[in-house]
Amino acid sequence: MGTTGTPNGQVQAEAEAEFGSYDRKTDLKALDDTKAGVKGLVDAGVTKIPRIFVDHQLKLNQISGCPTTTTTTPPKLRVPTIDLEGGGVNISTTTTVRNNIVEQLRDACQEWGFFQVVNHGIPVSVLDTTLDGIRGFHEQDTEVKKKFYSRDYTKKVLYNTNLDFYTAATTTWRDSLTLAMAPHPPNPQELPAVCRDIMVEYTEEVTKLALTLFELISEALGLDPNHLKDMGCAEVLYILGHYYPPCPEPELTLGIRGHVDSSFFTVILQDHIGGLQFVHKNQWVDVTPINGGLVVHSSSQISVSF
């Protein structure tokens, strides 16, 4: 593709000259065969990211001087936060408080598709230990992790780099542990020892929360509280434990690209670092972590996934 004498054309030509042509499939397979993931690259001491991870649009932005991040969140745009404890009142027995929470959920689902829940019943200690367990899995010795490395998504427990590793135009800088916890959970002995107990406990806790949310969202839709559960919406549960190792060139790649979840809704447990964003009225909005809070993304305009 030649230049037209315009700045954009020059940028395109310059980028192509720098990227050049290469055998992407060979590079992908070479990394996949190590079964060490992105963490393996970091452990090896890479100072430049492999070409498969370079996001061309981010690179073009660097060359052209364009900003590499989206617009910052306007001061008035804040993700709705819903207190499921209702100010310390039992929402299952107090009609007024429950109706108020249902109304808040209805507004959040209709207007945002994203909200945070606090006082949801899952102890902060369980949330913290869950994050520690996922981190512990990814930071253990590579030889221990290798037995879980696979691209066979019929398996109930697997670890790899990027779900769309061989099909996406750009590889993202993350590794993931995937656990299919419902409707047919793995035998506990199949789970990684480093996070086995907490994954079982977190599954139990987040399932209870999910059933509560399904009831409340059903009511927000003007339906019987059991409507969504009876439809089978709560039958499948996947836990995805993403890990983003330190990147030597973070301006050239992403941890996870923009996407739309395919699940009915997704419960997201962030660590204190944050980084989660979503689009609201054509603007990227930051989702600031709340200690003990959980982010819920409702795909019905209503990363565990149900």
Confidence at residue 277, expressed as pLDDT on a 0 to 100 scale = 87
Number of H helices, E strands in the chain: 9, 9
Confidence at residue 13, expressed as pLDDT on a 0 to 100 scale = 40
Residue 279 and residue 285 in contact, taking contact as beta carbons nearer than 8 Å: yes
Start-to-end C-alpha separation, the chain: 44
Predicted confidence pLDDT, tens digits, the chain (306 residues): 333 334 444 434 444 445 556 789 999 999 999 999 999 999 999 999 999 999 977 655 554 444 444 445 555 678 899 999 865 445 666 788 899 999 999 999 988 888 999 999 999 999 999 999 999 999 999 999 999 999 999 999 999 999 999 999 899 999 999 999 999 999 999 999 999 999 999 999 999 999 999 999 999 999 999 999 999 988 999 999 999 999 999 999 999 887 767 778 899 999 998 888 888 888 888 899 999 999 998 764 433 433
Confidence at residue 8, expressed as pLDDT on a 0 to 100 scale = 41
Residue 252 and residue 52 in contact, taking contact as beta carbons nearer than 8 Å: no
Confidence at residue 211, expressed as pLDDT on a 0 to 100 scale = 94
> Token pair for residue 193?
């020892």
Confidence at residue 75, expressed as pLDDT on a 0 to 100 scale = 55
Confidence at residue 302, expressed as pLDDT on a 0 to 100 scale = 37
Confidence at residue 35, expressed as pLDDT on a 0 to 100 scale = 97
DSSP H helices in the chain: 7-19, 24-34, 37-43, 56-64, 95-111, 124-138, 142-145, 196-220, 227-230
